[in-house]
Amino acid sequence: MRAPKQFVDLQNDVTAASIEWLREGFESIEHIKRYTVMGFGTDQGKLGNINGLAIAGAGIESQHS
């Protein structure tokens, strides 16, 4: 049984899996935001960006360990 999708930005349907997949090879959080359109909704990222940044940051931290 598949796990349910974990939505990070509900306005643009950005999932945690899409951020985890994208963080490899990207040098800036801006690249992830542009590719996933995270934070482009009417809230301008006030709701979803902090979660997306945390997911991306955890991946970057584990890559440098």
Rounded average pLDDT over 22-31: 73
pTM for this entry: 0.68
Does residue 1 have a pLDDT over 70? no
Alpha-carbon distance 58 to 38, whole Å?
A: 17
Alpha-carbon distance 34 to 11, whole Å?
A: 15
Tell me, letter by letter, the H, E, C secondary structure of the chain.
CCCCCCEEECCCCEEHHHHHHHCCCCCCHHHHHHHHCCCCCCCCCCCCHHHHHHHHHHHHHHHHC
What are the tens digits of pLDDT across the range 43-63? 888 888 888 888 888 766 555
Does residue 14 have a pLDDT over 80? yes
What percentage of the chain reaches a pLDDT higher than 90? 0
